[in-house]
Structure 1
Amino acid sequence: MKPFILASGSPRRKELLEQAHIPFSIQTSTIEETVEEGLAPAEVVQQLAKQKAEDVWSTHQESIVLGSDTVVAFGEQLLGKPKDEGEARATLQMLSGQTHSVYTGVAICSAEGTITFYEKTDVEFYPLTDDEISMYIRSHEPFDKAGSYGIQGFGAFMVKRIVGDYFAVVGLPLARTIRELKKFGIVPTL
């Protein structure tokens, strides 16, 4: 089996690949991420995932490299990680009682070529009170997460329903990723 590298410092992606029993190492991409104007969210996450994977692969060409990126979209608005408490509060107020979409893109690079794919999951929030939003912000969980929340942590209390892949919301569509990695000879080892 060729060496397999995760081109991400995300602890959530690391945990998901460990859960899948796939041996890997981590090499974080240092590329300055750029996105073309006017792209749909699905195209944005695939483009960013590909940039990360290709950046790491360029110095590890004997390996299989996986890059991934996640964005939260509310209508046409992309919601990244909040810059501060005010932005986190505004985002959570906007998502309160509403349905938004989470897009996670994946790129797998090897000497044989690159594949990209994405998963879209719709997430509906319960209506949130100002006190609930303040409590969540005090947890500090919103600050390193797209859309200002983490479904796998304390933020789960806000989620009424999801339609799609839960793991894609966490940061990596695990079942699809395992199937795609198999094409590159990367398989779970038990």
Structure 2
Amino acid sequence: MLLKENRRIILASKSPRRSQLLKEAGLPFEVKTLEVEESYPDSMPVEEVPVYLAKKKARASKVFLESDNDIILAADSVVILNGSIFEKPQNEEEAHAMLAELSGQEHQVITGVCLLTNKEEIAFGDLTKVKFAPLSKEDIHYYVSNYQPFDKAGSYAIQEWIGLCKVEKIEGTYANVMGLPVERVWKALQNLLS
């Protein structure tokens, strides 16, 4: 076991996918969240936004640290195409529009991660390139209607139908596209705990 009994990971995220990935990696954790406004400076380069937001979430969640043995884990994922961030869609129309733009294109998924203790902060970003096959209007309608991707950056989840049937290529880790670069989190935790 990576964690000693007295160490505690607090996942500052409501994402069921991040919880699933941590469980599958055998890491014990608790979920504790606060509402944190996901805003960032307009002038910030898009590649820096996910790490900035992960730090913002982790620092806001510092109130959950009860001892020096506790570790906050916060993350934020963004989908980037042609220098623009595709956030979570507000409605079906936005989801359709985003997927139509991603159709046949290669885009980037960057997940920012912040690990925070009373004494230390480790933050990093991980990038994966994803190439979609062309998506017809019928493909997009089917996916949005059946999978309701309104809580997902870029209007899609890699582990659902669209990822299985319409992703041609991935460069980088699959887990990162799901929302957490687990291999890098594992390494960072080992460094933090050594």
Q: TM-score range by the shorter chain?
A: over 0.9
Per the alignment, residue 93 of structure 1 pairs with 100
Alignment CA distance shift 1:45-1:167 (3 Å): same
Q: Is structure 2 residue 50 aligned with structure 1 residue 45?
A: yes
1:140 alignment partner AA? Y
> What is the alpha-carbon distance in structure 2 between the residues aligned to residue 24 and residue 181 of structure 1?
13
Of 18, 30, 37 in structure 1, the residue corresponding to residue 35 of structure 2 is 30
Is residue 103–residue 168 contact of structure 1 (8 Å, CA) maintained in 2?
Answer: yes
Q: CA deviation at 1:59?
A: 3.5
Q: Which runs of 5+ in 2 are unaligned?
A: none
Partners of 2:29 and 2:171 lie apart in 1 by 30
Cα distance in 2, alignment partners of residues 9 and 129 from structure 1: 32
Instruction: Please point out which of 52, 55, 58 is paired with 2:63.
Output: 58
Aligned residue for 2:114?
107
Q: 1:5-50, CA deviations, whole angstroms, 9 ceiling, x for partnerless residues?
A: 0000100000000011111111013222321122223310001001
Partner of 2:177: 169
- What is the aligned-residue RMSD (CA, Å)? 1.3
Tell me how far apart the structure 1 counterparts of residues 148 and 166 of structure 2 sit (CA, whole Å).
13
Please say if residues 122 and 163 of structure 1, whose CA atoms lie closer than 8 Å, have aligned partners that are also in contact: yes
Partner SS state of residue 122, structure 1:
strand
CA contact (8 A) 1:141 1:154 kept: no
Structure 2 Cα separation of the partners of residues 41 and 179 of structure 1: 25
1:139 aligns with 2:146: yes
Alpha-carbon displacement from aligned partner over 1:131-183 (angstroms, at most 9, x marks no partner): 11111111133211100111011221221101111111000001011010112
SS at match of 2:192: coil
Moved more, 23-32 or 120-129: 23-32
**Pick aligned residue for 1:82 from 82, 89, 106:** 89
TM-score by structure 2 length? 0.91
Task: Note the C-alpha offset of 1:185.
Answer: 2.1
Q: Distance in 1 between matches of 2:16 and 2:54?
A: 16
Identical amino acids, percent of aligned pairs: 39
Contact 1:101 1:121 in 2 (8 A): yes
Count of aligned pairs between the two proteins: 186
Q: Which amino acid aligns with 1:158?
A: K
Aligned-partner Cα distance in 2 for 1:28–1:153: 25
